[in-house]
Chains A and B, each alone.
Chain A
Amino acid sequence: MEINRINRRDFLRIAGAGAAGLVVVACAPAAPAAPGAAAPAEGAAPAQGKVTLRVQGDPDNEAPIAGPFQEQNPNIELEFIAVTGIDHEETAAKLLSMIAAGQTIDFGYSATEALQLYAGQGLAAPLDEWVQRDSAELAEYFSDVHPSLIQAMMYEGSIYELPFDFNAANMYYNTQLYQENGLEHPAPGWTKDDFLSNATAITKKDDTGRTTVFGYGWTNRLWGSWMPWIFVNGGNLFNQEEAPGGEWLWGTFYKDDPAAQGRGGGYRWQTPTANAPEVVEALQFVYDLTANGIAPTIDLGGGQSLQGFFADNKLGMTPAGGFWAGGLANAGFPNGSFDVQLFPAWKNQRHQFGTGGQWIAAASEHQEEAWKYSKYRISKEGMGLWYGANGIITTPSRRSMLTAEAFAETGPEHWEVFYSTLDDHPDTAPIPAPPISNPMTTLFTNYTGRAMAGEMSPQQAMDALQQELVDLVERSQDIMYPQS
């Protein structure tokens, strides 16, 4: 409803500016369209007491939990809207277009990247009241989920999503290439130098000095590109600050958990640190890998090449999370042909992750029903059904679900690494995802590309990135952290 009011105001303002008279009036955003679109469902609702929830999700993936949920809640209909994209920015762009078009959803799915944008812009409703009300029921869930994931879903002291899955950037390796070169499964505390010597050992060149087998490869994006190197080198794109608040949650659910000590009410990323020495050094490191033929040139469009190389024994290692195991298994990569270890340590061994979950639309008229579905989706039963049917195509947020049995079919052998990233490394943190994460990501990949193409030195690229981020933050003050 809030959105509708805004739209009507736009309409008046633009029309008032008299820029283009009639045409602009005709083009002003659709205020009446939104209720209109939802009308049939609402109209039917009072008569039968039925409520239709518009849920962002893939109908095929959601089917295993939708069925049982509807059996238990015959008054709730679920309508799935599959908003797809090949990366997080594309999905978010589509969802925002949808909302801009006046279409409503009751229940959305988003990863860390968009949480602060949706929360900060008032699209998502804080879940605090429901969480507090149903705390007895939820205690089991929270005890099963690492506090890092929870904190990543908080914004300015309130929680907006209950994490359903996560992916931390670990190191995958090709077991055949490891064996051929006499390499062992790395120790959890392996270092950047161990990594470099393994990568060098795997790399094979022909007579002309051209690489035929690469030790390492990565994709140019935000999560898990060269970002893990920034983290282990003690850097970040933005200074990661703790937002105040959240004591209510930590005190209720994580009283006895040392990993929850001192956590705040979410994060704030407001000061860019893109040209800090640690960041530049990390970029220089990955640049050298490519320059020395240890890593291939960086795929810009995402041509599926890394997976192909990996599967064809042309690539030794790459940063990826639990989702990659499912992807490799889908590609016909047999269990045992790949394995995973923690990301190597440099100045520290701080990992990064992205997590995903459901948010309830602030404009939804069926928030109570949406909350019901939200709880079911993260319940032991709900998550069990979902992963049972879909397989491990992403890493479950519940510790108890990462079991030998779950990974028996796809691998990797050392699946414990996934949750160990959180349990054994309390400093593991989300990728930087301020409300401006979309333009931030575009700039990040832009300057990464320039540096990797040799158009700019790592220092020049990061200086320029820093300048652009500073400008971006300055002109986006209205959506950054208004409360701070």
Chain B
Amino acid sequence: MQATAVPAPKRSGPVAWLMQDTLTGMARRRALMGYLFVLPTILGIVIFTAGPVLASFGLSFFRWNVFRPPAFLGLENYVRMFNDGRVAVGFWNSARFVVMAISLQIIIALLLALALRQKMATWMRYYFRTAFLLPFLLSGAATGIVLAYMLHTEFGVVNYYLRMIGLPTVAWLNSSGTVLYTIVLVSLWQSVGFTMVIMMGGLSNISPEVLDAAEVDGARGWTWLWNIVLPMLSPTILFAAVIGVIGGLQIFDQPYVMTRGGPGDASRTVVMTLYETAFKNQEIGYASAIAVLLFIIIMIVTATQFILSKKWVFYN
């Protein structure tokens, strides 16, 4: 590998080439070490991510149900996909989920992190941090089981208390209009504590003088938040957003356990559609076509995210 990129050595064995006790020899050793160090990761990514992306592309041109020989379909899976409302709904639900979950998480986590910066007893700070972070330890599947039980329309605890304080009850999981918001709340409950910890990390990197100086200068409330805190926190916010997109696109466990994607398709995310198509209905080729579209969209999102980040993220 290195031979193509590094200027070829003159008449000396590879070992001698590497061991030359000169600056270039050292650079070469560093380069070789670089390759060795990234090898496991790059190899792994090629085998388990990049390769499968290409393979999905190949499989997407076939009809294949595992038992029978695959039949070449050309673009038929793609034609079917673009006419399949369920696939469109899956993408739309995933997109809505990601946007809502990320923005709510970041806003609430930031407010919590700011609140925990205020003066309070150490045990209080410790208690709050632990309490907010605890749900993060629960698995998505367990979260789904517990919260579906608490959010039951007729006999759930949540609706019981809503009724008690005179509010209308909510068909959390049984209404097509509500269910996706419920899943957003569920994921918020689970991960807002972790996002808060990330925000605390970001805040701790801003020198207290900068944050407090702003207060003395009379910058107030939202202005202070908007003009001082947010710009200085932008790298952390971007990081939280990246984690949020990664997690949000994978959202499967909670809806699978709580609603199986229903009512109808109201909480069906694109990865649930993928799972059902491939493993329940054995339509491997069609599922691969959906995966290919997902890759393309993710590439666009990733690129946009990093291009945008160069524009507005403030690095000191």
Contact = CB atoms under 8 A, between A and B. Distances in A.
A6 B55 CA distance: 19
Contacts of A442: 276, 280-281
A13 interface: yes
Interface stretch (B56-64, B106-114, B308-316): B56-64
A97 B279 contact: yes
A406 interface: no
Contact of B260 (A210, A296, A445, A452): A445
Interface stretch (B16-24, B169-177, B240-248): B169-177
A297 B174 contact: yes
Interface in B21-80: 47, 51-52, 54-55, 57-59, 61-62, 64-72
Interface string A86-130: 000100110011011000000000000000000001110000000
Interface stretch (A21-29, A227-235, A236-244, A351-359): A21-29
A160 interface: no
A474 to B, nearest CB: 12
A450 B176 contact: yes
Sort chain B's interface into a size bin: 35 or more
Contact of A96 (B62, B175, B282): B282
A300 B64 contact: no
A14 B280 contact: no
B264 A14 contact: no
A297 B175 CA distance: 10
A249 to B, nearest CB: 26
A347 interface: no
Given A9-B69, A449-B262, A449-B264, A303 B148 contact: yes
B154 A296 contact: yes
B264 A301 contact: no
B55 A23 contact: yes
Given A442-B276, A453-B263, A301 B173 contact: yes
Contacts of A14: 58-59, 62, 70
Contacts of A314: 155
Contacts of A97: 279
Interface in A429-484: 438-439, 442, 445-447, 449-450, 452-456, 478-479
B152 interface: yes
Given A300-B173, A300-B174, A455-B264, A20 B54 contact: yes
A13 B69 contact: yes
B154 A13 contact: no
A165 B257 CA distance: 28
B258 interface: yes
A447 B279 contact: no
Interface in B122-170: 144-145, 148-149, 152-155, 163
B181 to A, nearest CB: 14
A93 B58 contact: no
Contacts of A26: 47, 51
Contacts of B174: 297-298, 300, 452-453
B94 interface: no
B2 to A, nearest CB: 22
Nearest to A9: B69
Nearest to B58: A19
A438 B280 contact: yes
Indicate the member of B144, B153, B281 with the most A CB atoms within 10 Å.
B281
A19 B144 CA distance: 39
Contacts of B259: 300-301
Contacts of A454: 175-176
A299 to B, nearest CB: 8
A307 interface: no
A19 B67 contact: no
A445 B264 CA distance: 8
A301 B148 contact: yes
B264 A447 contact: yes
Contact of A309 (B155, B176, B279): B155
Given A10-B70, A27-B52, A296-B153, A449 B280 contact: no
A211 B155 CA distance: 10
A321 to B, nearest CB: 22
A308 to B, nearest CB: 8
B164 to A, nearest CB: 12
A89 B155 contact: no
- Counting contact residues on chain A (CB < 8 A from B), the size range is 35 or more
Given A17-B72, A438-B281, A301 B67 contact: no
A403 to B, nearest CB: 37
Given A442-B280, A453-B174, A27 B262 contact: no
A305 interface: yes
Choose among A296, A301, A446 the residue with the greatest number of B CB atoms under 10 Å from its CB: A301
A297 B153 contact: yes
Given A19-B61, A309-B155, A447-B264, A301 B279 contact: no
B55 A20 contact: yes
Contacts of B257: 301
A446 B262 contact: yes
A364 interface: no
Given A97-B279, A301-B173, A303-B145, A17 B61 contact: yes
Contacts of A9: 69
Contacts of B260: 300-301, 445
Contacts of B163: 210
Residue with the highest number of chain B CB atoms closer than 10 Å, among A9, A304, A439, A446 = A446
A301 B64 contact: no
Nearest to B144: A301
Contacts of B70: 10, 13-14
A184 B185 CA distance: 46
Nearest to B152: A305
Contacts of A211: 154
Contact of A23 (B51, B265, B276): B51
A13 B155 contact: no
A3 interface: yes
Nearest to B267: A300
A456 B176 CA distance: 10
Interface in B167-196: 171, 173-176
22 contacts: A10-B69, A10-B70, A19-B59, A19-B61, A20-B57, A93-B280, A96-B279, A220-B262, A301-B144, A301-B257, A301-B258, A301-B260, A303-B148, A303-B149, A438-B280, A442-B276, A445-B260, A446-B262, A446-B264, A446-B265, A447-B264, A478-B68
Interface of A: 3, 6, 9-10, 13-14, 17, 19-20, 23-24, 26-27, 89, 92-93, 96-97, 99-100, 121-123, 210-211, 214, 220, 296-301, 303-305, 308-309, 314, 438-439, 442, 445-447, 449-450, 452-456, 478-479
Name the 9 nearest CB pairs between A and B, nearest first: A19-B58, A449-B263, A450-B264, A453-B263, A449-B262, A20-B54, A23-B51, A297-B174, A121-B67
Given A23-B58, A26-B47, A453-B264, 14 more contacts: A14-B58, A14-B59, A14-B62, A17-B62, A20-B58, A24-B58, A93-B280, A121-B67, A301-B173, A445-B262, A450-B176, A453-B174, A455-B263, A479-B67
